[in-house]
Amino acid sequence: MDLHGVLEKVKSLARRAGEYQLSHFRFLDHGSGDAKTEMEYVSHVDVESEHILRDGLLQIIPEADFFGEETLQNRGTGYTWVVDPLDGTTNFLSGLDHWSISVALLHGDEILLSVILKPCNDETFCAIRNLGAYHNNQRMKPVPPLPLSQALIGTGFPYRSPDTSEAFFSCAREVLYASRGIRRTGSAALDLCYVAAGFLQGFFEVDLMPYDAAGALLFLRETGCGLSEFSGKPYSLFSSRSLVAGFPQTWETLQEICRRHYGDGF
């Protein structure tokens, strides 16, 4: 398979979905969107964006399965597209210009390529396994070791798992005072890309879904970032409950802090 050719088609398709999203951005009423759960929302823009992506991706590789956030969630042992059509829905619905489109192609459990696009400024991340990662057509450099004290850390609040909120806030308090600060932007896919690009230097969150993380994992690996569960076990896209990632040294210290507050079950 010509992965370079596939990648270019995916980038074009993501931009088409992004153009659709921008045509609706700040034209929706505040409070619009339906509640998927008590704290998660979906709009017709999410659903239609996934239709655009699914239809286009299945034309690129007709035999592939499709695992998306809003519609189909099929996964086999062959090719699978893992897609978050709009990562940062709450930002989008509130008029904040920070959300992303995330597309990853897997073969079995192996991530072959990924594209993450921020439609508001056409910021684009793309990668093919073992061939490097790119930010706006510039190859991303391997990340250096960095102590946590010099790192800016990204995270997400545990709205999917309120039972972990006490552990989260105690962990975040320690990280806050051990680092240069914490940022919560509302798009885990972009946060993880920003770690790989060096804009953030670490990240931790519980209960990310596969479509939240799939696209960004390849960027972390291609740039030499560390990643694992809070417990220190290897991260598994479809089964792990926690993810901690970052520059070498930052990641190791951050993982130890997360484990101390969450315990070995994460």
- Binding-site residue numbers for Mg(2+) are 69, 84, 86-87, 212
Give DSSP secondary structure letters for 160-212.
T-GGGHHHHHHHHHHHHHHSSEEE--S-HHHHHHHHHHTSSSEEEEES--HHH
Which among 177, 175, 182, 196 is positioned nearest to 152, based on CA atoms? 182
Binding residues: 69, 84, 86-87, 212
Give the number of other CB atoms < 10 A from CB of residue 62. 8
DSSP 129-163: TTS-EEETTEEPPPPPPB-GGG-EEEE---TT-GG
Q: How many other CB atoms are found less than 10 A from the CB of residue 56? A: 18
